[in-house]
Structure 1
Amino acid sequence: MSWRDPSAVRRAAAIRTKEWAQVWRDPSTFGLVVLMPLILMVLFGNAVSLDVRGTRLGIVDQDHTAASRALVDSLRHNRYFALREGPSLAGLEPGLTNGTLRGIAVIPDGFEQGMVRQPPRDVQLITDGSQVNTATFLTGHLRGALRDWVEARAREAGQGGGPVLSIVPRYSYNPGLESRYMLVPGAIGIVMAMIGSLLTALIMAREYERGTMEGLLSTPVSIPALVLSKLAPYYVLGLASTGICVLVAVYGYGLPFRGSIFALFLIASAFLAAVLGQGLLISAATKNQFVSTQFALLSGFLPSLLLSGFLFEIDSMPRAIQWLTYIVPARYLIPPLQSVFLVGDVWSLFVPNILILCGFGAFFFLRVTRAIKRRIA
């Protein structure tokens, strides 16, 4: 069948109309396209955060001097800590056990004297080692707070051995180092991966279960035209879902949008081609709606969440896992999405990733057409 044939175009349009009619009759599609992105964006934007602030820290002052009280007061006004003072270490240790405290700082007896003569008395920090990330952040923030406090006291006392070299950081594109600037664009990619694969994971399986697939295959429409006609409505729905996520990111979470709508459209279209094709292949291979849904979640959501660089740096993964990330389409979506929000249009980054995503889409499209042909045979 040729697309130049008017009758072929009409037949393909009839299949698209049929698919749109099924979409409008199915209320779950509305929930999948509109409600699920909103729910997931709220969860990812608020519940997932890499910013450790207000960490519950117990503190024991065993020195009871002006210096130790000044240190406690300084930590109390530090945004990274929520202090809870205790008279003794034994009185605070149950809080570390039951999780109400993440760490306990102990200012030892002789702390003030140790500041003017050697050897100094160090502040001890006891942390909850079961929470590795929190313990690491707590140690780093407390070390930095102590250093700043000591330097401030030295300046007030007019002490110092000459100019001190220090780093003056400038954080491009995210001056406040807010984790939501990284997580929210990545969350859009995760939502697109899950919804895109779920939208099409049910298409062919539903036709097989209802017994209408044979009727579709008997129509004078080529397999590629049939596949494209069934994909078209879900491509539009996928773009609509992406648009909802972008609006929530910009107006709900205050993220900047420094790129262009055209670049976002190209990136989203290339990724949707990959994940919609993936879902359709699962649907055509399983012929069962329940099984295809489970496969779509396992192959779309989990790899996108864990292996795309959204939460975990790919470079820090084992070498074998790093190679595995190359077959995860979301790996090629997250960096362009973050760039189009925070940096702008960086076509040297966009073009290679868009081409790779288009390659994924072409691969899945060919596999779907061959899978359906085998079913005919």
Structure 2
Amino acid sequence: MSHRSAFWTRLIALTRKETKQLLRDKSSMAIGFILPIILILLFGYGLSFDLTNGRVGVVDQNPTPQSSQVLSGLNGSKYITVIHYPSFAQAQAAMGNDDIDAILNMPSDFAAQYANGSATVQIINNGRSTSIASSLQGYIASALNTVSSIQADRTNSSSTAGVISVDQRMWFNESGNSTWFLVPGLIVLILTLVGAFLTGLLIARERERGTLEAMFVTPIRPLEIVLSKLAPYIVIGMVDIVVCLLAAHYLFEVPIRASLLSVISASFLYLMVSLLLGLMISGVSQSQFQASQMALLASFMPAMMLSGFVFDTRNLPLVVQIISNVLPATHYMTLVKTLFLGGDDWSLWLKECGILLIYIVVLTVITARTLKKRLR
């Protein structure tokens, strides 16, 4: 047999062997075929910087036909959802509760200003999200000026008649600094990555090394295994939380307007969720490689794409919104941004921390049951 024919014989044999091995490896098949589908769906449906449902609270201090006429332009915009408030104090409370994204304040003398050719309205943006604030600012100003231009054309008035000037204000992020918006979100991603990946390899590593079998002859209970494996990583996670808070305050100069008690307690609960999620993934994985891939798909990527870190999840399709609300990262993301920039909101704290506690209980039970099945 010539060298060339021997080469092709070996190559074909090796190719068949690798093909059979790949077909037997379900994790590799999943990564090769399912991962690209998941990624394209996440990026295709989950990544959107468009604003389609900006909530604007309108306060008309002295309703007149002129002000109603101008405000009609907001109702005709698909990007804006108008919510009327009888007083500025009620709109301010709604902004504090994150129920609206902006306040449009119409002055009491708007009709007189508009008749004289130039009127000024005040737009107060919710600075918790600078991307939403900047987009919504443009939509509101465009809608108002479009109505005034239409009215000017109808009355054949000069181009300077009925000009509406916008007096812009930014709450919770006075400087409009995007770092104030991104850093609290980065804390969520860091805790997700550290928590899920640290514990995600624990049981899988022992299973690969064969040390997990040594537990079969011991009276250790599954819950004891869960708690013992979590303990050292809780310490590491708490150190990470402190480091993140110090970096946010001293390096990036992001204000922490809530009490440290509320911020640290909420962060601790989310750290527990991340650690338990990683431990659960490790319990059902057969190898460290499989555990790392599952941790990436089940924790870090959803937290980055669907938790509201970069963009408003209300702009996404309904199915994706439902998935987003199921993620624990979404609830912690909402809470930590409010605590950093808005201050203590104990009603929101109780709601979101209660949800995180439910996740802790559910994940603990699932993880214990998974280990119990493995220990039989």
In the alignment, is residue 334 of structure 1 matched against residue 328 of structure 2? no
Residues 164-313 of structure 1 mapped to structure 2, 5 A cutoff: 165-313=164-312
Distance 2:244 2:345 in 1: 21
Distance 1:211 1:165 in 2: 74
CA contact (8 A) 1:310 1:334 kept: yes
Distance 1:217 1:307 in 2: 40
TM-score by length of 2: 0.56
DSSP-derived class of the 1:176 partner: coil
1:161–1:290 CA distance, 2 compared to 1 (3 A): closer
Distance 1:226 1:339 in 2: 36
Distance 1:162 1:190 in 2: 51
* Equivalent residue number for residue 71 of structure 1: none
Displacement, 1:173? 1.1
Distance 1:217 1:271 in 2: 32
Letter aligned with residue 371 of structure 1? T
CA contact (8 A) 1:273 1:358 kept: no
Displacement, 1:172? 1.2
Displacement, 1:170? 2.2
CA contact (8 A) 1:185 1:337 kept: yes
DSSP-derived class of the 2:189 partner: helix
DSSP-derived class of the 1:170 partner: strand
Distance 1:300 1:357 in 2: 15
Displacement, 1:162? 7.7
What's the CA shift string for 1:151-205, capped at 9, x where partnerless? Answer: xxxxxxxx99689553323211111222111111011101111111001001111
Distance 1:326 1:339 in 2: 17
CA contact (8 A) 1:227 1:369 kept: yes
RMSD: 2.6
Letter aligned with residue 247 of structure 1? L
| Equivalenced residues, count | 228
Distance 1:217 1:267 in 2: 36
Distance 1:328 1:163 in 2: 48
Distance 2:375 2:172 in 1: 54
User: What are the ranges of 5 or more consecutive residues in structure 2 without an aligned counterpart?
Assistant: 1-48, 50-130, 146-157
1:175–1:374 CA distance, 2 compared to 1 (3 A): same
Distance 1:287 1:366 in 2: 20
DSSP-derived class of the 1:171 partner: strand
What's the CA shift string for 1:111-144, capped at 9, x where partnerless? Answer: xxxxxxxxxxxxxxxxxxxxxx9xx98xx69x99
Displacement, 1:335? 1.4
CA contact (8 A) 2:203 2:282 kept: yes
Q: Percent identity?
A: 34
* Equivalent residue number for residue 353 of structure 1: 352
Distance 2:277 2:176 in 1: 35
Distance 1:205 1:335 in 2: 33
CA contact (8 A) 2:215 2:375 kept: no
Distance 2:159 2:254 in 1: 42
TM-score by length of 1: 0.56
CA contact (8 A) 1:190 1:301 kept: yes
* Equivalent residue number for residue 316 of structure 1: 315
Displacement, 1:263? 0.8
User: What are the ranges of 5 or more consecutive residues in structure 1 without an aligned counterpart?
Assistant: 1-49, 51-132, 148-158
Displacement, 1:329? 1.1
Distance 2:239 2:319 in 1: 36
CA contact (8 A) 2:196 2:275 kept: yes
1:368–1:161 CA distance, 2 compared to 1 (3 A): closer
* Equivalent residue number for residue 54 of structure 2: none
Distance 2:184 2:330 in 1: 13
After TM superposition, the structure 1 stretch with the greater mean CA deviation from structure 2, 361-370 or 216-225, is 216-225
Distance 2:161 2:321 in 1: 47
Letter aligned with residue 251 of structure 1? Y
Residues 46-61 of structure 1 mapped to structure 2, 5 A cutoff: none
Distance 2:362 2:236 in 1: 22
Distance 2:217 2:356 in 1: 32
Displacement, 1:269? 1.5
CA contact (8 A) 1:224 1:369 kept: yes
CA contact (8 A) 1:282 1:296 kept: yes
Distance 2:245 2:217 in 1: 41
Displacement, 1:287? 3.0
CA contact (8 A) 2:255 2:340 kept: yes
CA contact (8 A) 1:275 1:361 kept: no
* Equivalent residue number for residue 32 of structure 2: none
